[in-house]
Amino acid sequence: MATEARIVDSAGAAEPVAGVVAPSGGRLATFRSLRHRNYRLLWIGTLFSSSGQWVQQTSLGWLTYDLTGSAFLLGAVNGFRSLPLLFLGPVGGVAADRFDKKRLMLTTQAFMVVISVVFATLIVTGHVRIWHVFAFTLLSGVGWAFNMPVRQSIVPNLVPREDMMNAMALNSAAFNVTRIVGPTIAGLMIAKMGPGENFFVQSAMYIGVSITIAQLALPQMKTATNRSMRGGLAEGAKYVWHHPTLRTQMLLALVPVVIALPYVSLLPIVAKENLGKGAGGFGVLMSAPGIGAVASTLLLATLGDIQRKGVLLLAAIFAFGITLLAFAASVSVLRSYPLAIVLLVVAGACQMVFMTTNQTVMQLTTPDEFRGRVMGLFMLNQGLLPLGSMFGGTLAQFTNAQTALAVMGLSVTLLAVIFGVFAKSVRTL
């Protein structure tokens, strides 16, 4: 028999999830969250949206290097993508808590469609200049800073509590599948049509996202009571700081991004200098973490509402650190290419289990009126990625890639042990 789905607010009170019915059965079903119409629409939109992002990132890289031939400007464009998330992500979270969520999503999607069409037109007409690339990248980042927190914050209102892990895992799986497939398709389209046409395709994908959003029937949700932007930011930061579990989870979300997650930025050095591989071998190394990420998220989706999520979270980040240490040893001592691939697959799996579990618990422990701001702060992990890449690159410059990887792995391992010992609020989740 079906029962009414409920979520738990910060005070421990159960609240019904409007329009969602939770089954009482416990059988395994990898895609069971898709039976909820609203979540299914959001997930399809995620496929369109993520595909558009990867098409954009691949095409921007090609276009930038084609225009300038500068590796520095290529890195600068990639860094520019993250700046708005670093500075505007929390503001986007305030907007998600204050305004109508469906209207906010539609507005940001329309904005991204318009700037993509304008940029594509500049390219195909031969008027594009490098400053256009930077302007487009910056404006795209602004759009995502306001779009991502609101998309993430509505998931707990679309599925019952017991399906949250499944829903978040499927979101991650959609992103990682397009991470593997998207750049390949974008590369083929560049070869056949050119980068300008790719941005028209991206615009079409964003229109697809808008169509799915327009069909959403969102339940009534509580909104923020503080009506000023500054007050809303302060209120959200204070809520996280005074919530011991959320405060610890936010640190777990942000710190590894700086000290370890950008390990992929060192893979070109590892491929060439440690393993003696060219572009083809490097491409396989880059794909390996994505394969592990997809496999692990599908496994999480199949297992569903795992008990002791805190233990799983800490175990995953500990295993991630150990795997990075093993990877550093494998490329410096054994110099085994097959082993390096296997370890990168495992690293990608551990990383995604940690990130998906952390975000699931964060969503479940936050009430509606604060969830947008919490997700806005969580989006800072995207904005901190360039800082992490700079940290890893600088460390490798003064030592070598394998030493930098070992320091990253050891740091994350120690972090997991410290939080495991002292963060009882997370350990007992």
pLDDT (mean) for 240-253: 86
CB 354 within 8 Å of CB 320:
yes
Instruction: Give the contacts of 317 (CB within 8 A, at least 6 positions apart).
Output: 252, 256, 350, 354, 412, 415, 416, 419
The secondary structure of 229-240, three-state, reads HHHHHHHHHHHH
Mean of the per-residue pLDDT values of the chain: 83
Highest mean pLDDT (candidates 16-25, 76-85, 156-165, 262-271): 156-165
pLDDT (mean) for 246-255: 84
SS3 category, 136: helix
pLDDT (mean) for 328-355: 91
pLDDT single digits (tens) 107-119: 999 999 999 999 9
**Residue 11 confidence class, pLDDT cut points 50, 70, 90:** very low
CB 218 within 8 Å of CB 20:
no
Query: Per the structure block, which two tokens stand in for 32?
Result: 């069971």
Q: What is the CA radius of gyration of the chain?
A: 21
The more confidently predicted of residues 200 and 81 is: 200
Report the pLDDT value the prediction gives residue 20, as an integer from 0 to 100.
Answer: 44
- Domain limits of the chain? 14-427
Report the pLDDT value the prediction gives residue 120, as an integer from 0 to 100.
Answer: 93
Query: Per the structure block, which two tokens stand in for 161?
Result: 């509590």
Q: Report whether pLDDT(225) > 70.
A: no
Report the pLDDT value the prediction gives residue 19, as an integer from 0 to 100.
Answer: 40
CA distance 277 to 268: 9
Chain-centre distance for alpha carbon 73: 24
Residue 131 one-letter amino acid: W
- How many residues are given for the chain? 429
**Residue 382 confidence class, pLDDT cut points 50, 70, 90:** confident
CB 156 within 8 Å of CB 362:
no
Residue indicated by tokens 């972090």: 415
pLDDT (mean) for 227-251: 85
Q: Which of 201, 52, 78 is nearest to 133 (CA)?
A: 78
pLDDT single digits (tens) 322-340: 999 999 999 988 888 999 9
CATH superfamily of 14-427: MFS general substrate transporter like domains (1.20.1250.20)
